[in-house]
Structure 1
Amino acid sequence: MLHVSTIEGQLDAKGLKFALVAGRFNDFITERLVGGAVDYLVRHGGDRADLTIVRVPGAFEIPLAAKKLAASGKYHGIICLGAVIRGSTPHFDFVASECAKGLAHVMLDANVPVGFGVLTVDNLEQAIERAGSKAGNKGVEAASAVLEMVRVLEQI
């Protein structure tokens, strides 16, 4: 049988620097996401001194801050956290879509892993469920994805 080489990222944050970009809008939810991400990175060997939290007004502003952080060359990965909750107007669709597209562009243009921990939900109950309740903590998931991608890219 032929040997197949496999590249996988180890979940070890020791020696890595991360930026977390957090939208202040819906901060009751966002703070839970930030707490989950920070806790995850520390539990996986990261040092709090190597974490920088950047607060922005809301999800729409997250991509610009992430772009600037990625361009700085100071961080191995960027974890973006926020909460967009659907209302009665199309505003939700524009904000959620532009945030997601903007962060994808940042990651691909800068070659820096960017985690999408921005909740896009229909109501407050769904947001609470995804910020540490029934559906886990999406801040943890975003931090985990970024950490794994940093370690994968080191090997490619």
Structure 2
Amino acid sequence: MSKRFAIIVSQFNQTITEKLLQGALNRFIELDVHKKNISVFHVPGAIEIPLIAQLTAKSKHYHAIICLGAVIRGETSHYDYVCQQVSQGCLQVMLNFEIPIIFGVLTIDNMEQAMDRVGGKEGHKGRDAADTALAMVSVVEQALSVTNSPSPTQQKLANQ
């Protein structure tokens, strides 16, 4: 498959985020996405994800961007601010650049919930993110063919 994907992964709560990353990478390989078509960007924490999402979207090099992280609730309101800022930032990039941004940032209360979502009883959110990225690329292509007005990102990708 010749589609290109960026994966942005937070290093904070790395025990969880590396499992998310491996799940996404493994799923892409299973679906015949070549490793050379996947770029991985590590950021210190979840709050840094939207900036790199914006820069990768702006490059017009990728068909979709996956954002992976794990924000675990603590005893202060910091959790609420981080979750809101990261989700709003990713949404803003998606709408501004008309590129699928897959929100694979876990917002959880504890480590048990995190483990349930990286291969436990709640499935594997990293694998789900790869599936969603591929599905959204297809839907975007379908929507653009119907409206017959490709986005600037899609135009640049088509001309490469």
Matched, 1:131 2:87: no
Quote the sequence identity (%): 46
Question: Offset at 1:152?
Answer: 1.1
Tell me how far apart the structure 2 counterparts of residues 67 and 142 of structure 1 sit (CA, whole Å).
18
Partner of 1:142: 129
Relative to the length of structure 2, the TM-score reads: 0.88
Q: Secondary structure at the match of 2:66?
A: strand
Among 31, 35, 39, the alignment partner of 1:44 is 31
Segments of 5+ residues of structure 1 without an aligned counterpart are 1-13
Partner of 2:139: 152
Question: Offset at 1:64?
Answer: 0.5
Question: Offset at 1:31?
Answer: 0.3
Matched, 1:106 2:93: yes
Matched, 1:85 2:94: no
Cα RMSD for the two superposed structures? 0.7
Q: Which runs of 4+ in 1 moved over 2 A?
A: none
State the aligned residue count.
Answer: 143
Q: Secondary structure at the match of 1:45?
A: coil
Among 48, 58, 67, the alignment partner of 1:71 is 58
Relative to the length of structure 1, the TM-score reads: 0.90
- Letter matched to residue 126 of structure 1: Q
Segments of 5+ residues of structure 2 without an aligned counterpart are 144-160
Greater share of helix: 2
Greater length-normalized contact order (CA 8 Å, ≥ 6 residues apart): 1
